[in-house]
Amino acid sequence: MKNLFASLASFALRSETRGVIVSMMVKAASILSAFALFTLSARVLGEEQFGQFALFFSAASMAAVASAFGQEMLIIRIWNENVAAGRISVAKGGIVFGLLISALGATLGAIVMAGMVYFYSNWAAALSAGLFVAAAVFLLFFSSLARSIVSILVGDGQRELTALLFANVVLIFCLVFDWSSSVTSVVNLIVLGKVVAIALQVFFLTRVLRRMYPEIFTAKPEFAVDRWLPSSTRLWFASILESSNQYLDVILVGYLLDPIAAGAYFVTTRLANGFASVADAFNMFAMRQFPELYYKADEGGLLRLLQTLAILTALAVVGGLFVVGVAGHWLLMIFGSEYMAYYHVLVILCLGSAAMAATGPAAPVLMLTGHEGAYLRIVALSVFIRVAGFFLIVPMFGIVGAAATTAVSLVAMAVLVSIRSRTATGYNVTATRILGGLAPDRMNAKES
Residue 68 contacts residue 102 (beta carbons within 8 Å) = yes
* pLDDT digits 0-9 by tens, 285-305: 666 666 667 666 677 777 777
Distance CA 356, CA 246 (A): 12
- Spans of all domains in the chain: 21-232, 258-437
Q: pLDDT category, 92, cuts 50, 70, 90? A: very high
**How many other C-beta atoms are found inside a 10 Å radius of the C-beta of residue 351?**
18
pLDDT at 284 exceeding the cut of 60 = yes
Give the mean model confidence (pLDDT) for residues 98-124. Answer: 94
Confidence bin at 438 (pLDDT 50/70/90): very low
The pLDDT, as a whole number, for residue 102 is 97
pTM: 0.74
Question: Distance (Å, rounded) from C-alpha 368 to C-alpha 370?
Answer: 6
Contacts of residue 72, Cβ cutoff 8 Å, sequence gap at least 6: 140, 141, 143, 144, 239
- Per-residue pLDDT tens digits for 146-201: 988 998 789 888 988 999 999 999 999 999 999 999 999 999 999 999 999 999 99
- Residue 154 and residue 13: Cα distance in Å, rounded? 24
Contact indicator for 417, 362 with CB cutoff of 8 Å: yes
The amino acid that residue 290 corresponds to is F
pLDDT score of 96: 97
Residues 6+ apart with CB under 8 A from 335: 38, 39, 42, 43, 267
Task: Answer yes or no: is pLDDT of 351 > 90.
Answer: yes
